[in-house]
Amino acid sequence: MNPSRPTPVEPDPTDKALHRLSCASIIETCTLASLLFIAVPLKHLAGFPAAVSWIGPIHGITLVTYLWLLSTSFANPIFTRGEILRLLFSAIIPGGGFFNIGLFKKKQVALKLGLTQ
């Protein structure tokens, strides 16, 4: 091992899980907004039902992925029960995931400082 080269540090698994959850939250929010504000109006106003057929399954996959990642948070004491409920309800509100960005940043800082909850 070369002493002049620093050894790579493995990222904390909790930090990786938090990053995945935050990305999934934003992606889920974007797909819900595109489904409700682009695809559904195209279907009903322009007679283009294929838009819902394309975006609907994409949103379904992202929603299930987000809920799965959120359910893994129960095993990890990153979030309180109230915060988990907040993250859960934000998934059904168009644009709700954007309100969680501050929470994710706060949790990332707490992890870096070694604080829990």
pLDDT at 1 over 80: no
- In a domain? residue 76: yes
Q: In which domain, by residue range, is 95 found?
A: 14-113
- In a domain? residue 28: yes
CA-to-CA dists, residue 78 to 60, 61, 74, 94, angstroms: 26, 24, 8, 25
Rounded CA gap, 96 and 56, in Å? 18
* Percent of all residues in the chain with a pLDDT value above 70, rounded to a whole number: 88
The domain total for the chain is: 1
What tokens were used for 47?
């007679």
pLDDT in tens, 3-57: 666 655 566 777 888 999 999 999 999 999 999 999 999 999 999 999 999 999 9
Nearest 5°: phi and psi at 16?
-65, -40
- In a domain? residue 2: no
Stated pTM of the model:
0.83
- In a domain? residue 4: no
Rounded CA gap, 117 and 111, in Å? 9
- In a domain? residue 18: yes
